[in-house]
Amino acid sequence: RKEVEQDPGPFNVPEGATVAFNCTYSNSASQSFFWYRQDCRKEPKLLMSVYSSGNEDGRFTAQLNRASQYISLLIRDSKLSDSATYLCVVINPLTYKYIFGTGTRLKVLA
Amino acid sequence: GAGVSQTPSNKVTEKGKYVELRCDPISGHTALYWYRQSLGQGPEFLIYFQGTGAADDSGLPNDRFFAVRPEGSVSTLKIQRTERGDSAVYLCASSPSGGGGGELFFGEGSRLTVL
């Protein structure tokens, strides 16, 4: 089983839609989680950290479900500029390496 | 700017040749990571340095791959006897400290093509 798994998509949604992605992780001892965004042929950039209590940043909400070992990202009122690949990241609790998922592609359509 | 710098940005080489990829992290960042990314895939972990030492090199695919960071700043990823399957974008990232869950700051990557 992969350490971090994501549905690769693509998710094609109309502008203004709400879309959600999930990401599962295999190591129950993991403590730190993130969502990164990667535009086509660019480097990944931090979108937001995922806290135990969940966190919100504008139209973006990230949540952690420890019991089921997954994190989620919700995007409300999608914009064309949200089109990108969203990468789930989990830190290995023993070695502190950052493990990336394969990414979920989102395309917001006009 | 003072971001992570990677050179070369593009490298085309022939099968069997030796390649070096360089990463200059953000000044003061003690943690440095190397990843490899193929089309349609997420970044695949290769190696992570904390200061001068490799804290985790479990992602290096085989003994043709080696990385150094002799002075705790610039790092070089070395690939011997390159194979076509080594073609990918090699990404370097730095962080103020490893293990603390800090943000990774990525360079723009070195695109390696092995013919």
Sign of CA dihedral A92, A93, A95, A98: positive
pLDDT at position B99, please? 63
Q: Tell me: the pLDDT tens digits for A76-93? A: 999 999 999 999 999 988
Instruction: Give the C-alpha separation, B65 to A71, whole Å.
Output: 33
Site from B32, B104, B105, B110 to mutate, A interface, most A CB atoms within 10 angstroms: B104
pLDDT at position A87, please? 98
**Residue with the two structure tokens 């949604």:** A13
Higher pLDDT, A96 or B33: B33
**Residue with the two structure tokens 């990414």:** A103
Q: Is A14 exposed, middle or buried (0-12, 13-18, 19+ CB in 10 A)?
A: exposed
pLDDT at position A5, please? 96
Asked whether the predicted pLDDT for residue A95 surpasses 90, the reply is no
DSSP letter assigned to residue B104: P
**Side-chain half-sphere exposure of B52, counting CA atoms within 13 A:** 2
pLDDT at position A93, please? 86
Which residues on chain A are in Cβ contact (under 8 Å) with B91?
43-44
Check if the beta carbon of residue B109 is closer than 8 Å to that of residue B89.
Answer: yes
Distances (CA, A) of A19 to A45, A74, A99, B42: 20, 6, 24, 20
A57 contacts: CB under 8 Å, gap ≥ 6:
A48
Check if the beta carbon of residue A92 is closer than 8 Å to that of residue A100.
Answer: no
Decide if B59 touches A, using CB distance below 8 A: yes
pLDDT at position B98, please? 63
Instruction: Give the C-alpha separation, A96 to A90, whole Å.
Output: 9
List, in sequence order, every residue forming a beta bridge with A98; answer none if it has no partner: A91
Give, for all 115 residues of chain B, the pLDDT tens digit: 589 999 999 999 999 999 999 999 999 999 999 999 999 999 999 999 999 999 899 999 999 999 999 999 999 999 999 999 999 999 999 998 766 678 999 999 999 999 9
Compute the nearest-CA separation of B91 from chain A (Å). 8
Which residues on chain B are in Cβ contact (under 8 Å) with A91?
99, 101
The two structure tokens encoding residue A9: 């998509």
pLDDT at position B100, please? 63
Compute the nearest-CA separation of A25 from chain B (Å). 15
Cβ-defined contact of A99 to B109 (cutoff 8 Å): no
pLDDT at position B1, please? 57
Decide if B66 touches A, using CB distance below 8 A: no
Asked if the peptide bond before residue B8 counts as cis, ω within 30 degrees of 0, the response is yes
pLDDT class of A18 with cuts at 50, 70, 90: very high
Which residues on chain B are in Cβ contact (under 8 Å) with A100?
35, 42-45
What count of other Cβ atoms lies within 10 Å of the Cβ of residue B12? 11
Asked whether the predicted pLDDT for residue A24 surpasses 90, the reply is yes
| A-to-B residue pairs, Cβ atoms closer than 8 angstroms | 55
pLDDT at position A96, please? 86
Q: Is B84 exposed, middle or buried (0-12, 13-18, 19+ CB in 10 A)?
A: exposed
Asked if the peptide bond before residue A10 counts as cis, ω within 30 degrees of 0, the response is yes
Asked whether the predicted pLDDT for residue A1 surpasses 80, the reply is no
Decide if B74 touches A, using CB distance below 8 A: no
Which of A6, A95, A98 minimises the CB distance to B104? A98
What count of other Cβ atoms lies within 10 Å of the Cβ of residue A90? 25
Cβ-defined contact of A43 to B59 (cutoff 8 Å): no
pLDDT at position A2, please? 85
Cβ-defined contact of B104 to A46 (cutoff 8 Å): yes
pLDDT at position A94, please? 85
